[in-house]
Amino acid sequence: MSNASTGKTGPVGVGIIGAGVISKTYLENLTSFPDVQVLAVGDLVESAAQARAGEFGIDTHGGVDAVLGHPDVEIVVNLTIPVAHAEVAQKAIEAGKHVWNEKPLTLDRDSGQALIDAAEKAGVRIGCAPDTFLGTGLQTTQKIIERGDIGTPLTALTLMQSPGPESWHPNPAFLFQEGAGPLFDIGPYYLTALVQMLGPVATAYAVSSKSKAQRTIGSGPKAGEVFDVTVPTHHGATLSFESGASSQDIFSFESSVGRILFEINGTEGTIAVPDPNMFQGEIKVRKAGSDDWETVADTKELSSRGTGALDMARAIREDRPHRATGALALHVLDTMQSIAESAERGAPVEVKSTTDRPAAIPDDWDPKARTV
């Protein structure tokens, strides 16, 4: 593969744009990986960038240009709010940087495709969250399915219900606006894992609803403030896959009871998949004809947010494809947009994009090892 950083050696330089809540988790992980070096933090609110950089001993901080103009930053980790993902990523591409976007890739399939086209023309890479599918929980699940423990996968059932994040998040309004809601905020974890296990989606059929025009912030300095809800807060979808498999999926911020479920049924049994929003978890299998579940693995977390950016950094140095690709993220985005369009139209919508299933990570993969 040809990339902007081909020929370089040693740790890959990383810059963070967006100093919000999730940046702390990313920085905790990225600063622990020997194969990357975080060099700069930028944010529209420069004081936020300064504070976050100070927590982790990063010397360079400021606005967006503090990251884009740093000569040793090779990957820009874009942690801005969803409506800014495309604009910031495009600026990074124009600066000759590889880009790791938080999910979703962009707000819609057209802007997502434009971003991928721009990166290809510039000779840089696009990677995108979620990277939870690279964790031990979903990686082990993938390998169990691939070795045939449940036979041929036929159907899947996923469920994510909660009251919504406004009770605990100090600034939750953006999670109920364009580019978010349960479909675009939580959906990528489930849909990426479904593509990982079952392959690309072919068709989406869905319904959606919104019970409240406004919600109230429940914690932090803004507690008691009311904000507008501009997107649906409940989605029920039926997906068909190119493989012939199908799934029934619920993504909801409308339940007083928090519930998570992910099961895949095959010709020889059913596998209970760990929470796809996590990097680890217990995996159970119930064989056809059995009344009992067997715990086949209880995986532990090796790393968290930022694992995909690390895989991309190593791939740049090794001149190989990375796993959490722009094409995968675009297909998930296309699927989410198709779900939303189906609910609006009351009819199935074809998912026109496709993608390859990501290759499994080797069993000896170690995020804390120095390999480049």
- Model confidence over 190-201: pLDDT tens digits? 999 999 999 999
4: pLDDT strictly greater than 70: no
CA-CA distance, 231 to 182, in Å (whole number)?
9
Percent with pLDDT over 70 in the chain:
98
pLDDT at position 1, please? 52
User: 206: pLDDT confidence band, cut at 50, 70 and 90?
Assistant: very high
Q: Provide φ and ψ at 177, rounded to 5°.
A: -125, 180
Residue carrying the six token digits 């985005």: 333
pLDDT at position 284, please? 98
Q: Which two tokens stand for residue 233?
A: 């807060």
User: 6: pLDDT confidence band, cut at 50, 70 and 90?
Assistant: low
Report if pTM > 0.85. Answer: yes
User: 302: pLDDT confidence band, cut at 50, 70 and 90?
Assistant: confident
The overall average pLDDT reported for the chain is 96
What residues contact 82, with CB distance under 8 A and at least 6 apart?
A: 102, 104, 107, 174, 178, 179, 180, 184
* Alpha-carbon distance values, 208 to 15, 104, 142, 243, 247 (Å): 38, 19, 30, 26, 17
Torsion-angle region of residue 311: left (phi > 0), alpha (psi -120 to 50) or beta?
alpha
Domains of the chain: 12-132+305-324 (3.40.50.720), 136-299 (3.30.360.10)
Identify whether the C-beta of residue 146 lies closer than 8 Å to the C-beta of residue 361: no
3: pLDDT strictly greater than 90: no
pLDDT digits (tens, 9 = 90+) for 102-144: 999 999 999 999 999 999 999 999 999 999 999 999 999 999 9
What residues contact 154, with CB distance under 8 A and at least 6 apart?
A: 245, 246, 265, 266, 267
What DSSP string runs through 301-345? -S--TTHHHHHHHHHHHHTS--SSBHHHHHHHHHHHHHHHHHHHH
pLDDT at position 2, please? 44
What SS3 class is residue 93? helix
CA-CA distance, 371 to 361, in Å (whole number)?
15
